[in-house]
Chain A
Amino acid sequence: MTSSQATAARSPDSSKLLSGLRKVATSLAVILTTLLGLLVITFVIGRLVPADPVIAAIGDQADQATYERVHKEMGLDRPLYVQFGAYLSDVVHLEFGQSHITKNPVASDLARVFPATIELATLATLIGAGLGVPLGVISAVRKGTWVDHLGRIVGLLGYSTPIFWLGTIVILVFYAKFGLIPGGGRIDIYNEGLVEGPSGSILLDSILAREWEVFWSALHHVVAPALILGYAAMAYLSRMSRSFMLEQLRQEYVLTARAKGLSQRSVVWRHAFRNIRVQLLTVVALAYCGLLDGTVLIETVFAWPGLGQYLTSALFFADMNAVLGSVLLIGIISIAINLLSDIVYRFIDPRTR
């Protein structure tokens, strides 16, 4: 083989590598600007607060000299862009300030409440995808039949129900009237603190530790909030998977597969469904982010000790450090989830390689 042939053989490879690198660089730039934008928004929100942060720190009894000293110490006399720089460096060092209510650093509070929310939202997404995707696919295949109409009604109701109200009604009926579920919280008080595991999810940790009583108690507590959130996710996912599936069933390869005499099941699941997996992944990620909204309300209703409840109680006491920390964390989680779905998307869809 001559050297020119060798270069010709190598060059597609290296150009592929180059374009791959460029893709990675572009998506990195996108993520970084999104993160920066997120920080700008939380910074602006922090500046908009009418309450004076100095008075919040030293109380309204302090004299003028103390006020001015603290004002200077907090850097409030410096230009806004310097303050933003200081804010950035704080965030990079995971310094979100102190919470006025818990008196702990916000970062350690967030680390404490975060796993509970992830546990709830993940479980709800699994329920939503597990029920919603098959429902959407079946609705598309049987378009116009009673299954489709039922799916549509279930979906529209899920879209239109105020989730905090549904939670309250579930507590009224299943806790107050029938006593089937606990009235709130994450676990029974006598099981609390028995399991300290690596994942922070009581369900997983209790399985790992083989503490079955703790597991049942945790499961008992998580069922109602997870089902309610899961219903909201199901409404969205069934609607999306129905429309993706309809799109595929119109394609000619489906007609070809049918003409070859393949069974309905094979056409639907092995041909059409394989092609909507990538789109589904994206909407499942979106549903997960949407559920972070739902957890704020549902955690408040069910006294679930997670990020949402932390955020709402911080709001209630105008604890801005805690509010901004939680909002930033929720924003970062949604960026991370979308990024993750992007990566998996590239992995399972050969067309994007």
Chain B
Amino acid sequence: MNVMTKPGSFATLHNWLINEDFTSTRQARLHTFYVAWLNLLANPLAFCGFLVVLGLIAVAALAPMIATHDSYAQDLAFALQPISAQHWFGTDEFGRDVFSRLVYGSRTTLYISILVTVVVAPIGFVIGATAGYLGGWVDIVLMRITDIFLSFPSLVLALAFSASLGPGIENAVIAIALTVWPPIARLARAETLTFRNADFVVAAELQGAGMGRILLRHIVPLCAPSIIVRLTLNMSSIILTAAGLGFLGLGAQPPMAEWGAMAASGRQYLLDAWWLTTIPGIAILTVSLAFNLLGDGLRDILDPRNG
């Protein structure tokens, strides 16, 4: 790792952060983050991905300020207008401003992907880590269940669940979450198995620590890097699945702005209004590519074993 002291305005802070003779726990923690940050800066593609993800979050947070029009306001006199100075990305079949809907659509995308991740990460971890830690019958049963869910192509399973739960954004979240947890569980199990018989785990057991404590205090910190990498890469497939559900009319319901549904409704006007389908698709592609690039870069930094 290329860590060197350097002069400059932030020199003192920089030197304190890269110094490996730690004087406090906090310094050691900040050091880890800082070195990871420097590594991210050194990987241009991953950094681009990081910037796009930051941009997405900023757009979603500041949507009311960025949008030029009301994303719900219909104006049939101005339906299917091409790109112009007033409507940067044209208007849709109801005369709504596509740019503003795209901006608000970022909220939907972020809402679905973050909610799925927050739901799935602890569930997948608990199932996988329990299976790996306890072994025996528990392991066999839990992994069998995981494999059953894995044997379905994920979009088809999500489709079936959201069809039976009914269309809507919350149901789409549940349906996608049901398809995303199995790989996380498998990963957590594999990671737990590698640490299961390590001396520090045995030592903690001898001191009387229960399973919950060992998993939470000893296994979680060790699994975290690879799970974070997997979750970041998963973001892209969550976004694509959500867009696919939206495309089939099962995700967010109109008039809510959702990129997949926007691309779908544009198909009817494909020949007259190419922008309706093209632009939301480019947005999906950009964001999903950004998460993939960021995840790839994070893997090189946090989880070099699986690189």
Contacts and interface: CB of A to CB of B under 8 A. Distances in A.
A45 interface: yes
Contact of A45 (B164, B166, B248, B274): B164
B238 interface: no
A349 interface: no
Interface in A198-218: none
B145 A37 contact: yes
B187 interface: no
B263 A160 contact: no
Contacts, number: 142
B155 A297 contact: yes
Contact of A168 (B144, B153, B263): B263
B154 interface: yes
A256 interface: no
Contacts of B288: 159-162
Contact of B247 (A164, A169, A318, A327): A164
Contacts of A42: 160
A300 B260 CA distance: 14
Nearest to A332: B151
A33 B151 CA distance: 12
Contacts of A50: 165-166
A169 B250 contact: no
A156 B147 contact: no
Contacts of A290: 153
A315 B165 contact: no
A335 interface: yes
A102 interface: no
Contacts of A101: none
A330 B148 contact: no
Nearest to B290: A160
Interface residues of A, number: 49
A41 B164 CA distance: 12
Contacts of A46: 164
Interface in A1-54: 30, 33-34, 37-38, 41-42, 45-46, 48-50
A347 interface: no
Interface stretch (B3-11, B34-42, B278-286): B278-286
Contacts of B154: 293
A323 B151 contact: no
A160 B285 contact: yes
Contacts of A293: 153-156
Label chain A's interface by main secondary structure: helix
Contacts of A316: 248-249
Interface string B258-272: 001001100100110
Q: Chain B contact residues (Cβ within 8 angstroms of A): what range?
A: 35 or more
Contacts of B192: none
Contacts of A330: 152-153, 156
B243 interface: yes
A168 B248 contact: no
B106 interface: no
A50 B167 CA distance: 11
B18 interface: no
B161 interface: yes
B293 interface: yes
A290 B151 CA distance: 10
Contact of A48 (B165, B278, B289): B165
A195 B178 CA distance: 42
Given A162-B243, A169-B278, A292-B156, A37 B148 contact: yes
A340 to B, nearest CB: 13
A338 interface: yes
A37 B145 CA distance: 7
Interface of B: 144-145, 147-149, 151-157, 159-161, 163-166, 236, 240, 243-244, 247-250, 260, 263-264, 267, 270-271, 274, 277-278, 280-281, 284-285, 288-289, 292-293, 296
Given A162-B240, A327-B159, 16 more contacts: A34-B151, A37-B148, A41-B149, A48-B161, A50-B166, A160-B240, A160-B285, A164-B244, A164-B264, A165-B243, A176-B270, A292-B153, A293-B156, A296-B244, A297-B247, A315-B250
11 contacts: A34-B151, A41-B148, A156-B289, A156-B293, A162-B284, A163-B244, A169-B278, A172-B270, A312-B159, A316-B249, A331-B156
